[in-house]
Amino acid sequence: MKMIKNIAIVVFASSFMFAGIGFHYANNYTDMDAGTNTATSWGVSYDLNDNTSVGWDSVMGMLMNFDAPMGVKLRLGWAANAADACVGADCLNADLAANGGDDSGVADEAEVAAWLAGDGSLEDLMWGGGNPASTSIGLGFTWWTGGTGVKTSVSTNYDYVMAPNAAAYTGTFAADYSNLSIVVGFGF
């Protein structure tokens, strides 16, 4: 009898534990005025109640969704800055190893001078990657939902992203940009 009671408790608890969990895969479109950049993202969301969910997206960062009138979702997002891929001599050593440096894995003075005389620069050594912190605000609309058990959906989201320290990073990071995403979701 004790085993049946324990199984019933676990089944009851797991029905709450897995209720309101959703996974998604999205196509993101940015810079639509000048050629449109595309990227894919994926993420997860957890329903806090009937009107609010919290989640994470690999491009947008942490997201909160709130119900708004007419089936629209208000989206608020936060993304932390990502650390550079490498800094200082580690970048140079990795670059030399990938592009024909000596086998020691440590740059000597002649290799540093040759690298700087070529297409390398000190800025490349300091900023090897990463991305700036950002916040976003947007609206989303779910066009279709269906299924029992595993529910599927198709949504469109439009977010305005603000990254005020974007100039400190190498790459093509804009301080402000728009992100349009087409999302396929799977939920329980």
Q: Can you give the pTM of this predicted structure?
A: 0.65
At residue 90, φ and ψ (nearest 5 deg) are -60, -40
Could you give all domains of the chain from N- to C-terminal order, each with its CATH number?
38-82+133-187 (2.40.128), 89-126 (no CATH)
Asked if 11 and 4 count as a contact pair (C-beta separation under 8 A), the reply is no
* DSSP secondary structure, 69-101, as one string: GGGEEEEEEEEPPBPPS--THHHHHHHHHHTT-
Q: Digits of tens for pLDDT over the chain (188 positions)?
A: 677 777 767 665 555 555 688 999 999 998 777 788 888 999 999 998 889 999 999 888 899 999 999 999 999 999 877 655 554 555 555 555 555 555 455 555 666 666 566 655 544 444 345 567 789 999 999 999 998 878 899 999 999 988 877 666 555 667 788 899 999 999 87
